[in-house]
């Protein structure tokens, strides 16, 4: 009920109270973003300290890292772009937990975290790079808004951040909502992966968008001067056939 009231009051344009949490997330992110999200690092640290490392096997540690420690910031990372420094500090805590063979002490780090995070095989364990994972989660949320153009979330963003254009053409101007700034940061990743499925072709730009069935680029490579630069795919379609 608290979350619903907060959204409705924002949409209606009326003044609302400052809620400390919205579905467990901070409703206001100020300039000191590190302080806003540092509780995630503290949660990871507390969880590690609640385990007795010396009694855990390598397999047990791997399961705990993937299913518990790396899952702690995932909910926040699906909405906000996290500070790189904070994510590096969380990764450092996890790496220390992995390499530590004693109840106290740091242990020797025989491999870099980047090496440990590559595709799993005999030497690499597939631990997530939190920065890349953060961007992937934000891209997933942004893609969801594209697929659901009439959703309340997208309508709020459109009203506040990009009133006069489509979501994929939105630019980051002024001081938009931090949630929108976070989603927008994954725009390049979404554009890289999106390919049009051609229907009537009225919304697809021939030269500027991906719509061909060819792999790699999915775009027209040779420009035809007889067609306008902003010409749409429907100009190439014979509606009778």
Give the pLDDT band of residue 166 (cuts 50, 70, 90).
confident
- Residues 11, 47 contacting (CB under 8 angstroms): no
Residue 219 confidence (pLDDT) above 60: yes
SS3 state of residue 26:
coil
- Residues 205, 228 contacting (CB under 8 angstroms): no
Dihedral angle computed from the Cα positions of residues 211, 212, 215 and 216, in that order, rounded to the nearest 10 degrees: -60
Which range is least confidently modeled, 42-51, 64-73, 200-209?
Answer: 200-209
Give the pLDDT band of residue 8 (cuts 50, 70, 90).
very low
Residue 41 confidence (pLDDT) above 80: yes
Where does residue 230 rank: exposed (0-12), middle (13-18), buried (19+ CB within 10 A)?
exposed
Give the pLDDT band of residue 123 (cuts 50, 70, 90).
low
pLDDT of residue 20: 45
Give the pLDDT band of residue 106 (cuts 50, 70, 90).
low
* Percent of the chain whose predicted confidence (pLDDT) is above 70: 76
Q: Average pLDDT, stretch 11-26? A: 53
Residue 208 confidence (pLDDT) above 90: no
Give the pLDDT band of residue 6 (cuts 50, 70, 90).
very low
pLDDT of residue 64: 92
pLDDT of residue 207: 81
């Amino acid at each position: 009920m608290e979350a619903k009231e907060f959204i409705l009051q924002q949409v209606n344009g009326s003044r609302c109270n400052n809620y400390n949490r919205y579905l467990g997330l901070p409703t206001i992110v100020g300039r000191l973003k590190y302080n806003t999200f540092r509780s995630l690092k503290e949660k990871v640290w507390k969880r590690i300290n609640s385990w007795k490392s010396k009694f855990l096997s390598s397999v047990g540690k791997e399961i705990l890292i993937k299913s518990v420690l790396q899952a702690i910031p995932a909910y926040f990372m699906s909405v906000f772009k996290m500070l790189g420094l904070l994510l590096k500090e969380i990764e450092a805590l996890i790496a220390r937990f992995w390499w530590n063979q004693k109840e106290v002490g740091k242990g020797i780090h025989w491999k870099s975290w980047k090496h440990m995070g590559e595709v799993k095989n005999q030497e690499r364990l597939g631990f997530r790079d939190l920065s890349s994972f953060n961007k992937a989660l934000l891209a997933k949320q942004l893609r969801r808004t594209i697929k659901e153009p009439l959703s309340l979330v997208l309508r709020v963003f459109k009203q506040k951040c990009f009133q006069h254009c489509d979501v994929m053409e939105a630019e980051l101007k002024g001081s938009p909502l931090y949630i929108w700034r976070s989603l927008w940061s994954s725009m390049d990743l979404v554009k890289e992966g999106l390919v049009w499925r051609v229907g009537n072709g009225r919304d697809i730009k021939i030269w500027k968008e991906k719509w061909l069935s060819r792999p790699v680029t999915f775009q027209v490579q040779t420009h035809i001067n007889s067609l306008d630069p902003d010409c749409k795919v429907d100009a190439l379609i014979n509606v009778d056939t």
